[in-house]
Amino acid sequence: AQTVTQSQPEMSVQEAETVTLSCTYDTSESDYYLFWYKQPPSRQMILVIRQEAYKQQNATENRFSVNFQKAAKSFSLKISDSQLGDAAMYFCASTLGNQFYFGTGTSLTVIP
Amino acid sequence: DSGVTQTPKHLITATGQRVTLRCSPRSGDLSVYWYQQSLDQGLQFLIQYYNGEERAKGNILERFSAQQFPDLHSELNLSSLELGDSALYFCASSLRDGVGYTFGSGTRLTVV
**What is the per-residue DSSP string for B52-72?**
TEEEEE-S--TTEEEEE-TTS
Residue B40: pLDDT band by 50, 70, 90 thresholds? low
Residue A16 has pLDDT above 90, yes or no: yes
Spatial CA neighbour of A108 closest among A12, A24, A6, A8: A12
Weakest mean pLDDT among A73-87, B38-52, B65-79: B38-52
Q: What pLDDT score was predicted for residue B24?
A: 97
| Mean pLDDT of the region B12-36 | 96
Residue type, A37: Y
Least confident of A12-21, A38-47, B69-78: A38-47
* Sign of the torsion angle spanned by Cα atoms B71, B1, B102, B33: negative
Supply the pLDDT for residue A112: 96
Strands B43-50 and B74-78: unpaired
Burial of B83 from C-beta contacts in 10 A (0-12 / 13-18 / 19+): exposed
- Cβ atoms of residues B84 and B60 within 8 Å: no
Tell whether A111 lies on the interface with B, counting CB pairs under 8 A: no
Provide φ and ψ at A86, rounded to 5°.
Answer: -80, -10
Residue of chain A whose alpha carbon sits nearest to that of B89: A43
Q: Mutate which of B4, B23, B43 to test chain A, going by most A C-beta atoms within 10 A?
A: B43
Please say if the pLDDT value at position A50 is more than 70.
yes
Residues on chain B touching A91 (C-beta within 8 angstroms): 42-43
What whole-number distance in Å separates Cα of residue B65 and Cα of residue B46? 9
Q: How big, in percent rounded to 5, are the helix, strand and coil portions of chain B?
A: 5, 50, 45
What tens digit of pLDDT does each residue of A54-109 get?
A: 888 999 999 999 999 999 999 999 999 999 999 999 999 988 766 778 899 999 99
